[in-house]
Every structure is written in C-alpha cells, then in structure tokens.
Structure 1
Amino acid sequence: MKLLSFLIFPLTLALLPTLVQANDAINVATYIEPPFADKVNGKFVGRNIRLSKLIAKKLNKKVNFITCPMARCILMMQSGQADMIVSVLKTDEREEILTYIEPGINFQKQPISFFTLHTNKVEINSFEDLKSLIIGQVRGARYFEKFDNNNELTKVKITTRSQMIKMLLKGRIDVFIAREESIRPLIDKYNYQKLRIAQYQYLTPVTGYIAISKNSYLQQDIQKFSSIIKQIKDSGELDKVYYKKL
C-alpha cells in the first residue's frame, strides 16, 4: 500500500500543472460572423471578441479563440472542448448542453431577412411563400422558432455564410436566410447589388446570450459570470465595448 501511494503521489503532481493551466484559460468557440467575430490580418476582431476579452480580464483568466463553423462550435460546447460561446439564442435543445448566463448581453433588433437574386422571379411576401423554395441556412444556426421547427420547408444546410452567398449567385438555391449586417462584409459591392431582400422579414427582436458548456470547469463560476454581465450592463461598459466600431 505504501508503494502504491508513493507511485500515485508523483503522478498526481505531474498532472497538476496541466490542470492548473487548463483552468487558467477560457476556450471560446468562435464562429466567424462579422460584425460579431472575424479574423483580419491574423487577428480576431469584433463584438464577441472584445466582450470575451473583457470578461476574461475580469475573471483574471486568459482567453483562447477557437474558430469553428456554428455546427462544430455547438458540438465542441457539448463535449467540453470549448468552455464558452458568445451571442447565441436560447433554445430548449441547446439548454440540454449549455448553461445560459443571465442577463442576456444583447437585444438583436436587426431583422432576419431572406435574400434572393434580382434576376429571380421570386416573391416572398409571407412565410407561406417560402414553402416552394430551396432555402439556404447556416448549419447549426438558429433563427426563429417558426422557421427552425418547420418540416415543410426545403432547407439546405451550408457550412458558412460565404458559401451560402456563392450558392445563391450560382443558382443552386433560391434564397438564403441571414441578417443583412452579417452579409454585407462578406461580399463585394458588385455582387451585393445582385441580391434582393424579400418583402417578408422576421422583425421580432431576439436576445443573445453568453453560454457555458455543461462539461466545462467554468460551471463553478456561473454566478461570477452573471454578476459581471449585470455589472457591465448597469455601468454602460457593455454597450461601450460591444457596440463600438471596429
């Protein structure tokens, strides 16, 4: 027994630095979606990036940004490979694997739009008009309940918004769903003029949250996260950091 204890103790010490190092950083699952997150000249920029850095600083932790398409980001959060994700919608499905930090960080007022081409003779004046169309959406993204849960629509799940734009321009889909502010930075002026935003849009504002993986060591700090968000919202620091221009 003494020999066993002697062997276990050095092993524990050998593992300890790794554990301390892991608990010293926040791994943020980062989906590229300007103006929320982007990578410019090798550096991460955007609203979610600035907010993540601010929170990490207040927790006295480092921050690592892990780029991933939305679907993979969610899988990484589920497994615990990533600790945190920023500005995500709350759904029953996601609540099984994520702890949402209250209060929410933003109130998204930009409409969710449906983009088609000027050359397409497609009129989308109501939700019902979508049922005859092939609709591009980002794999793993959530938009609004009526759209997300509708099984009558023909939806094509695409990895990135850039790919979605290319598929529309090539005529491989009839329309795609997105916010205009997330599409404009991804396309040049010439090609943007080829796009047309449909009359029908989803106008109800939605709340974005910071969420923590239920398999993350940060579960022990949920109350700290909540207190930080409340404090920076009440002080105006959140708006100053989150909404300033890049």
Structure 2
Amino acid sequence: MMRAWFWVPLILLLSTPMAGAQVSTITVAIDHAPPYSDTDGPEPRGLLLDILAPIAAELGLEVRVVPCPFSRCVHMLEQNEVDIMGGLIRTKQREQGLTFVTPAYMALHSSFRFYSLRASDLDITYYEDLHGKRIAVMRGAAHFARFDKDSDIIKVPVTSEQVAVQMLLKKRVDLFIGVEETADHAMSILQQPVHQLIKQPYHFQDSIFGHMAYSRDFASSIRAKQITSLYRSMAEQGRLTELVKPYALPPIQGHSEQ
C-alpha cells in the first residue's frame, strides 16, 4: 500500500537567509486528533505544524508530513522511519527509545474518563470495578500508571477514539478510556452519538503534558539540536504561548511537568 505524503506549504524558502542553499527535509508524523491535528482535509494541519513552520523557515527546512493512526505514528518514530511527532506523554518506557523536547507545548488539566453505553447497567465507581470489563484503549497511548501497569485489566487496542466509540455501540467492548477534555471535543467534531454514552463516576484526575519528541537517530543530528534551540527560544519569548492560544491551551511558561 502506498503511503500518502504531504508537503507543508507554509515554508517559503526564498524568504529565509538560507535561500539557495541545499534544502534539508524533516519528516513529521501526524495523527488525526482534532482539534490539535487534522488529517482529513486536503492538507494536514495542526498545532505541531504551526510550531514547526517558523522554525523550518528560519533553518531552511522542508517539512514532509506523514499522516498515520496514532499507534502507527509512534511505531514509525521508534523505528526511525520519521523524525518528529507531537502530543506525546513522557513516560520512562518511551524515553528508552525517544528523545522528548522540553518544555511541553500542551498542558491539559483534565481527567482520564471511562465511557460506557447509557443503556448499560455498568457502575464504575471505584478502580476495582474496572476488572472484568473489556476496555478499549488507544493502541500505543499512555494513560495513568496504575491503569497502564495493571495486567489484570482487559485492554482492547484500537486505532482511534472513533473506532472505540463504534466498538462500544456494537457492544464489542464495555468501556473506553480517554482524556475527558480531548475525547469530548473529538466526539463532537466526529459527530459521534454522544447522547448514547455516559461517563462513569470513577475517573483519574491528572495534569497531562504533551511533548514534541524525536526519533533516536534524528535526536543526535545537528538539525535536531537547532530545532530544539529555536523551540526553546520561542518558549522563552512567549511565541509558543501565542501559537497554542487558538487551541485553548494554557501558556507554555509557568506550568511544571511530572
């Protein structure tokens, strides 16, 4: 199967100091996760691309976008098939194969919620109530440590929240887990029948940070070091805060990471 490749049109090399020099290309994996990224239109768009556009223009880089399901994006990054991905929660396991760039550009103070069919008789009031239930989880995603490490939980990997809702409606799973703030927004955009779903009482409140991350090979390159330097300068100057503002995210400076 041929993979679709997209060239981000925001980079006008003739306007950069490096015009006429040999052009380098960086590959960026983007999953469909509205409102933060959208791969359904004629050209992928989203917050990470908004951030990389001025950096790429200054360095004279072209950005090649690889649309992919979340789990596939992570796998490609781990296998050095792409250079950069965004919106990743930093975990010790992921740090073994990826390099995370700080500060995080996404800070969500939200809950991991469990959604079920309204017509079901489920009552998930305590964590222990999750045992014995089939729970749809985004393949490759990180949640909260207790849940992720619990081998007794029946986890059914899915490629997207849309698939998770479809499986729930068909009663192939009992629950699906999602970040409440993003899941609610995504379901409204994707026109899912949210009226048929309810949020269970049990939830896990957390501060969730989404990072830009590099593949292992790319992290050791001069380009990665240049991108990191410019990215951090943008954060210090408040430019990142201006870029995340349209996405209803809090300022970059001032929040702490776990």
Q: TM-score, normalised by structure 1?
A: 0.83
**CA apart distance, 1:130:** 0.9
CA separation in 2, counterparts of 1:26 and 1:160?
A: 25
CA separation in 1, counterparts of 2:69 and 2:152?
A: 25
Task: Say which is worse superposed, 51-60 or 204-213, in terms of deviation.
Answer: 51-60
User: Could you report, residue by residue, the CA deviation over 1:76-133 in whole angstroms, capped at 9, with x for unpaired residues?
Assistant: 1122210001120112221122111122222221222111111111111222111121
Partner of 1:63: 63
Unaligned runs of 5+ residues in structure 2 are 1-21, 249-258
**CA apart distance, 1:218:** 6.0
**CA apart distance, 1:208:** 1.6
Task: Say which is worse superposed, 164-173 or 224-233, in terms of deviation.
Answer: 224-233
Tell me, yes or no, if the aligned pair for 1:213 and 1:219 is still in contact at 8 Å: no
Relative to structure 1, the CA distance from residue 109 to residue 62 in structure 2 (aligned partners, 3 Å threshold; closer, same or farther) is: same
Q: Does 1:234 align with 2:239?
A: no
Unaligned runs of 5+ residues in structure 1 are 1-19
Which letter maps to 1:225? Answer: I
Partner of 2:246: 244
Partner of 1:215: 217
Tell me, yes or no, if the aligned pair for 2:162 and 2:187 is still in contact at 8 Å: no
**CA apart distance, 1:67:** 1.2
Partner of 1:11: none
Partner of 1:138: 138
Relative to structure 1, the CA distance from residue 199 to residue 69 in structure 2 (aligned partners, 3 Å threshold; closer, same or farther) is: same
Q: Does 1:38 align with 2:41?
A: no
CA separation in 1, counterparts of 2:63 and 2:115?
A: 35
The structure whose residues are more often helix, as a share, is 1
Q: TM-score, normalised by structure 2?
A: 0.79
Q: What is the alpha-carbon root mean square deviation over aligned residues?
A: 2.1
Q: Does 1:184 align with 2:187?
A: yes
Which letter maps to 1:75? Answer: H
Where do 4+ consecutive residues of structure 1 move more than 4 Å? none
Partner of 1:74: 74
Tell me, yes or no, if the aligned pair for 1:37 and 1:47 is still in contact at 8 Å: yes
Larger Rg: 1
Percentage of identical aligned residues: 25
Q: Does 1:202 align with 2:204?
A: yes
| Residue aligned with 2:166, SS | helix
Aligned length: 224
User: Could you report, residue by residue, the CA deviation over 1:7-58 in whole angstroms, capped at 9, with x for unpaired residues?
Assistant: xxxxxxxxxxxxx65xx11101111111121124312222223223233234
CA separation in 2, counterparts of 1:57 and 1:110?
A: 34
